[in-house]
């Protein structure tokens, strides 16, 4: 990225403005610039340069003062919420938001953990990279069982766009021809361990409706020219992912979409620019620009553009929309339906079953692969629903041997204990449920009536909780995982209800959903606001349901599709 790319003040009227630089913002910028649109990307956080700013990459745990544990006083002052994330430690904390600077509130009796990454690249630097297509069953579920509004798109609408983004991203995995989990365009899969191979074979015979496969993840295992040309290389299975990957082996804004956009010469970036609101023109009935507050000086400035892609994350985009008030939209821009802020959802990861595996003492594995076992949703249509709950869940996990990192917390001392640390321990397996959350109008966010953040923007207030349906699904996932482990002959089987609040899956969606009817939705099937035709929202806020699989691949596909539509509309003179 050259220095001319970054701007501060500007009187330019850009062809397009993209708000946010994470997975969807990166894709919007790539697609718009490659189609010839002079595009401004606005990012509230600092610049993170690929490779240069991965300051903890390849630094081993023993070089940290507390072996990657974050000091207690720092957690209490700055990271009380962020510390709950699986990826948070002393080597990654610089990529997480500071809770002190980003306060929010929750309704009494509810809880929500909002994980944030406010820098160029956003959470694309921290995501877990598991990548699945949604199926026809996911898109039809709301209509089929009456929970939520009907998606205005179907699988066939997105299938070519899934293929388009997969070729660019690079997805490792195996073709399985499963109706509930459509196949992607794959690079070679990561290998299963020997116990996993045997578990897969046993379940094929004993639980044939629950196929066990290797997970699908956005890691290059056999890079294609489209990736090599961007400087991306094969995954080395180092488990350095959330520190940033100089190989560009996993997909992120920095490794892929940003350099692709930059090489067009059409990309400009305004970092450290906190979006306060969108500027609506009552005469043209269009968004004409964006008000931002400087992250450091707190001075206000404005940027102007012909179309706006809002990609600031589900919650960030909705907060901006709710704070964008005008005479026509006193309750937030594009909110004539009154739906904005409602139907907040996340995946439910609260079921965990672990077990011990005897034998395999002569088996081990190489590297720290980013993939896991994956058991796709088998309750994928109403006729297959469990008697106690609607929708379904997937199971994911790993069979591995304990090592010095896990055994280091055991009691012991002396020469024998040190020797124990040199040798791999026994095999174990864990399976965790990933359950769907039903759309519920009462699960919502709103702007707090009095509290504001350091930039003077109203804080978000959350009212969100698991329903009886999600709690029953946890029990169902525990029963299934336990039964499978018993059939596999494992022992020391333990069930755990993790008790995590919504938000910790970091798959939050909803709050500005698509729909056919402007009376019960914010966006149409192309992610275009019903009320404001030059405003597009392509992050998770647009979702009508969670589906079961990880949502990021769908974020990418709907963004690429929406840009294609918007560009055609502009060129046809309709936008």
Task: List domains and CATH numbers for the chain.
Answer: 3-151+251-348+441-465+508-571 (3.50.50.60)
In the chain, how long is the greatest CA-to-CA distance?
Answer: 80
Which pLDDT score, from 0 to 100, does residue 412 have? 74
Which pLDDT score, from 0 to 100, does residue 405 have? 64
Which pLDDT score, from 0 to 100, does residue 404 have? 63
Task: Give the other-Cβ count within 10 Å of 64's Cβ.
Answer: 15
**3-class DSSP state of 14:** strand
Which pLDDT score, from 0 to 100, does residue 2 have? 75
Look up residue 254 and give its DSSP letter. Answer: I
Which pLDDT score, from 0 to 100, does residue 249 have? 98
Q: Of the candidates 117, 122, 214, 211, which has an alpha carbon nearest to the alpha carbon of residue 171?
A: 214
Q: What stretches in the chain show pLDDT beneath 70?
A: 3, 404-410, 420
Which pLDDT score, from 0 to 100, does residue 292 have? 98
Which pLDDT score, from 0 to 100, does residue 415 have? 76
Which pLDDT score, from 0 to 100, does residue 430 have? 98
Which pLDDT score, from 0 to 100, does residue 338 have? 98
Name 309's bridge partners: 18, 536
Which pLDDT score, from 0 to 100, does residue 409 have? 60
Which pLDDT score, from 0 to 100, does residue 401 have? 92
Task: Give the other-Cβ count within 10 Å of 513's Cβ.
Answer: 28
Using CA atoms, how far apart are residues 443 and 292, in angstroms rounded to an integer?
Answer: 29
Using CA atoms, how far apart are residues 377 and 548, in angstroms rounded to an integer?
Answer: 7
């Amino acid at each position: 990225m050259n220095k001319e790319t970054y701007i501060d003040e500007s009187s330019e009227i850009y062809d397009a403005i993209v708000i946010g630089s994470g997975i969807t913002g990166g894709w919007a910028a790539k697609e718009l610039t490659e189609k010839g649109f002079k595009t401004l990307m606005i990012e509230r956080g600092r610049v993170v340069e690929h490779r240069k700013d991965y300051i903890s990459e390849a630094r081993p745990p023993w070089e940290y003062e507390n072996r990657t544990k974050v000091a207690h006083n720092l957690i209490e002052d700055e990271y009380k919420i962020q510390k709950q994330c699986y990826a948070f430690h002393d080597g990654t904390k610089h990529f997480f938001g500071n809770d002190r600077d980003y306060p929010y509130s929750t309704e009494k009796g509810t809880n929500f953990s909002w994980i944030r990454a406010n820098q160029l690249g956003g959470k694309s630097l921290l995501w877990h990279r598991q990548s699945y297509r949604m199926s026809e069953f996911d898109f039809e579920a709301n209509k089929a069982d009456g929970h939520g509004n009907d998606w205005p798109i179907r699988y066939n609408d997105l299938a070519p766009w899934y293929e388009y983004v997969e070729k660019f991203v690079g997805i490792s995995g195996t073709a399985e021809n499963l109706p509930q989990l459509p196949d992607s365009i794959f690079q070679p899969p990561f290998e299963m361990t020997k116990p996993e191979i045997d578990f897969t074979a046993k379940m094929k015979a004993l639980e044939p409706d629950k196929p066990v496969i290797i997970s699908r993840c956005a890691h290059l295992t056999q890079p294609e020219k489209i990736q090599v040309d961007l400087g991306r290389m094969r995954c080395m299975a180092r488990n350095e992912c959330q520190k940033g990957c100089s190989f560009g082996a996993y997909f992120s804004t920095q490794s892929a979409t940003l350099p692709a956009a930059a090489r067009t010469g059409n990309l400009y970036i305004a970092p450290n620019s906190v979006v306060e609101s969108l500027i609506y023109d009552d005469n043209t009935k269009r968004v004409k620009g964006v008000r931002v507050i400087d992250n450091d000086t707190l001075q206000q400035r404005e940027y102007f553009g012909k179309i706006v892609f809002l990609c600031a994350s589900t919650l960030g985009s909705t907060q901006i929309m709710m704070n964008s008030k005008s005479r026509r939209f006193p309750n937030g821009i594009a909110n004539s339906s009154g739906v904005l802020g409602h139907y907040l959802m996340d995946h439910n990861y609260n079921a965990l079953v672990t077990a011990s595996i005897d034998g395999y003492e002569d088996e081990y594995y190489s590297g720290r692969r980013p993939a896991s076992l994956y058991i796709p949703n088998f309750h994928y249509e109403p006729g297959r629903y469990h008697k106690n709950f609607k929708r379904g869940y997937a199971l994911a996990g790993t069979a591995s041997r304990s090592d010095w990192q896990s055994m280091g917390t055991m009691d012991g001392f002396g020469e024998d204990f040190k020797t124990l640390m040199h040798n791999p321990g026994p095999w174990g397996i864990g399976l965790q449920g990933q359950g769907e959350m039903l759309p519920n109008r009462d699960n919502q966010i709103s702007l707090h009536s009095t509290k504001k953040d350091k930039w003077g923007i109203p804080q978000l207030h959350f009212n969100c909780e698991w329903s009886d349906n999600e709690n029953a699904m946890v029990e169902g996932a525990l029963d299934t995982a336990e039964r499978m482990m018993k059939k596999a002959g494992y022992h020391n089987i333990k069930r755990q209800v993790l008790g995590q609040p919504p938000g910790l899956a970091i798959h939050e969606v909803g709050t500005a959903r698509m729909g056919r009817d402007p009376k019960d939705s914010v966006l149409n099937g192309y992610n275009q606001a019903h009320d404001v035709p030059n405003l597009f929202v392509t992050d998770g806020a647009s979702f009508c349901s969670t589906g079961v699989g990880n949502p990021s691949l769908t974020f990418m596909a709907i963004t690429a599709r929406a840009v294609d539509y918007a560009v055609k509309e502009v060129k046809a003179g309709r936008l």
